[in-house]
Chain A
Amino acid sequence: MSWAAWWFDGVLVGSLIVLAWGSVMARDPFTGIVRYVIFGLLAALTWARLWAPDLALAEAAIGAGLTGALLLSTLGRMGLSRSSGHAGEALVPVPPRLTGRKPLPLGFPELVLTLALAAGVAIGAAVMHLGAARSPGLGTAVVALLPQSGIESEVAAVLLDFRAYDTLLEMAVLLTAVLAIWCLGVIRFRRSPWRVDPVLASLARALVPFLLLIAAWLLQAGLHGPGGAFQAGAILGAAGVLWTLADRRALRLGERRSARVGLVLGLGTFAIGAFLPTLVGRPLLTWAPGSAPAWAWGIELAIAVSVGLSLTALFMGGLAEVPHIDEEEP
Chain B
Amino acid sequence: MVTWVAAALIAAGGAFFTAGLVGLLRFPDVYARIHAVTKADTLGLGLVALGVALVQPSPVHSARVLLVWILAALASGAAGHLLCRAAWLEEVEAGKRDTS
Could you tell me which A residues sit within 8 Å of B by CB distance? 82-84, 197, 199-200, 202-203, 206-207, 210
Question: Would you list the 9 A-B pairs with minimal beta carbon distance, nearest first?
Answer: A203-B78, A83-B90, A199-B81, A199-B78, A206-B74, A200-B82, A203-B74, A197-B85, A197-B82
> Is B32's beta carbon under 8 Å from chain A?
no
Q: Looking at chain B's contact residues, is the secondary structure mostly helix, strand, loop, or mixed? A: helix
Asked if A207 and B75 make an inter-chain contact with CB atoms under 8 angstroms apart, the answer reads yes
A197 contact set on B, CB distance < 8 A: 81-82, 85
Q: How many angstroms between the C-alpha atoms of A197 and B82 in the bound complex?
A: 8
Chain B 64-100 against A: per-residue CB contact (8 Å), 1 yes, 0 no?
A: 0000000100110010011001110010100000001
Q: Is the CB of A84 within 8 A of B74?
A: no
- Tell me, in angstroms, the Cα distance from A199 to B71 when the chains sit together: 14
Q: When the two chains form their complex, are residues B87 and A203 in contact, meaning their CB atoms are under 8 A apart? A: no
**Contacting residues, chain A, for B86 (C-beta < 8 A):** 83
Report B27 CB to chain A, min CB distance, Å. Answer: 18
> What is the interface of chain A mostly: helix, strand, loop, or mixed?
helix
Chain B interface, number of residues (Cβ within 8 angstroms): 12
Kindly list 10 other residue pairs between chains A and B, CB separation below 8 angstroms, not including A202-B78, A203-B78: A82-B100, A83-B87, A83-B90, A84-B90, A197-B82, A197-B85, A199-B81, A200-B82, A203-B74, A207-B74
Is A210 touching B90 in the complex (CB atoms < 8 A)?
A: no
Residue ID in chain B nearest A191 by CB atoms: B89
In the assembled complex, the Cα of A203 lies from the Cα of B78 at a distance in Å of 7
Chain B residues closer than 8 Å to A83, beta-carbon distance:
86-87, 90, 92
Ordered by A's residue number, 7 sampled pairs between the chains whose C-beta atoms are within 8 Å are: A83-B87, A199-B78, A199-B81, A203-B74, A203-B75, A206-B74, A210-B71
Q: Which residues of B contact A206 (CB under 8 A)?
A: 74
Query: Separation in Å of the B88 CB from the closest CB of chain A?
Result: 11
Find chain B residues with CB under 8 A from A82 CB. Answer: 100
**Cα distance, A236 to B85, chains bound together (Å):** 27
Which A residues are in CB contact (< 8 Å) with B90?
Answer: 83-84
